[in-house]
A = this chain, B = another copy of it.
Amino acid sequence: MANPSPVKFDDPAAFPRGFRCTSTNCGLKPDAKDLALFVSEKDCAAAAVFTRNQFPGAPITLGRETIKNGTLRAIVANSKCSNVATGAKGLDNARRMAAAAAKEIGSTADRVLVSSTGVIGVQLPIEKIEKGIVGLAAQLQSDPMVGAEGIMTTDTFPKALSARLGDATITWVAKGSGMIEPNMATMLAYIFTDAELDAATLSKMLRAAVHVSFNMLSVDTDTSTSDTCAIMANGLAGRVDEKLFLETLTAGCIRMTETLARDGEGAKHLLRTTVRGAATDAEARTVAKSLVNSPLIKTMVHGADPNVGRLLMAVGKAFDVKIKPASTDAWINGYAVVKGGERLDFDEATVRAALKNEVVDLEVTLGDGNASATAYGCDLTHGYIDENAAYYSS
């Protein structure tokens, strides 16, 4: 099983001091919220990671420029339209969106991170967004779920978490839930803290936390052109223990990763695949992802069928990793099903029943070293197909 985290999360999620947010409908969607604003009362040290997709959206191009300063005051994000494949006009629109938010909160555009999520290849209705931003400063409130609502696309629920460490708080706000696979951050995820940390430290910690969480998430192997994960630290709670901060940050990123996987398009199960005994971290990650991404594993989890052959198949197709069948063992939700590369004579009814759990843990040991990794995903159901065969581009 994935290691249980000792970190306790607040219920409901709350913001660190100095952060507030709001969201509204500015007319991109018929009724639902489509515009969100997250603001700190003072400038924050900040860091971000972005999609590796080679058709990045205009907000990604702008965001890479903005984050170089290591300072953010606010994040403005819209859903419904992603501002991707929109050329020079798209970039200009992203700049206008930053400028509008900066004007509204009394800051400058270079301190506002912009995100857009939704359909690709359509110009941003920038006038609607500019008009929608006017007046948002007066509506800022303390519930992070309100901001989370404004960035939902096919998500079925808004997503926010928070945890405390000493006097400081960390809050995560994110959205999923299709076109999700790592190589960077997999979605929009914003992290807010009142801990005092400089931008370089935040950047290092963010990369470490994302490496084992969002970058190990895959709903469908498809990497979005808009993925962004940003962290803002306003320092209002003063210094914190850096080791404890990284632990808490990582635990929250993993928890949010599981939340996103659970809400993967059409998902009925959270699927965790853990590989141990690999020669290197990279090999452990490769095999864990081969398992979590296999359509035959995903449909097996959906059907609650202990089809051990698919497990071996998915390990064996990781061609870049030298697999030794004779030292390969596997478990399904704690039940041993493979020993030395051969199927064990396990009780099928018991394992079938265990596979009906909402959380399905597949574990594999390779007997080749000490590295391990866990990947996060979900089952593949009719819901995924219904969502994506019907999600019209216009």
Contact = CB atoms under 8 A, between A and B. Distances in A.
Q: Which of A220, A299, A315 has the most CB of B within 10 A?
A: A299
Interface string A358-394: 0000000000000000000000111011001111111
Given A55-B341, A341-B55, A341-B85, A222 B317 contact: yes
Contacts of A293: 221
B225 A388 contact: no
A84 B307 contact: no
Interface string A143-178: 000000000000000000000000000000000001
Contacts of A70: none
Interface of A: 52-56, 82, 84-87, 119-122, 178-179, 181, 183, 220-225, 293-296, 299-300, 302-303, 305-310, 312-319, 322-323, 325, 328, 338, 341-343, 348, 380-382, 384-385, 388-394
Nearest to A387: B299
A222 B315 CA distance: 10
Contacts of A314: 222
Contact of A225 (B183, B316, B318): B316
B388 A309 contact: no
Given A55-B341, A315-B54, A382-B385, A222 B393 contact: no
Count copies of this chain in the complex.
Answer: 2
B316 A55 contact: yes
A53 B317 contact: yes
Contacts of A308: 85, 120-121, 393
Contact of A220 (B86, B178, B295): B295
A225 B312 contact: yes
Contacts of A309: 82, 84-85, 119-121, 225, 393
Contacts of A52: 317, 319
Q: Which of A312, A316, A384, A390 has the most CB of B within 10 A?
A: A316
A252 to B, nearest CB: 27
Q: Which of A53, A87, A325, A388 has the most CB of B within 10 A?
A: A388
Given A86-B342, A221-B293, A392 B305 contact: yes
A222 B293 CA distance: 9
A314 B223 CA distance: 8
Q: Which of A295, A319, A325, A348 has the most CB of B within 10 A?
A: A295
Contacts of A54: 315-319, 322-323, 325
A54 B179 CA distance: 29
Contact of A393 (B305, B318, B342): B305
A388 B299 contact: yes
B121 A299 contact: no
Contacts of A390: 303, 305
A382 B380 CA distance: 10
Contacts of A313: 53, 55, 120, 179, 222-225
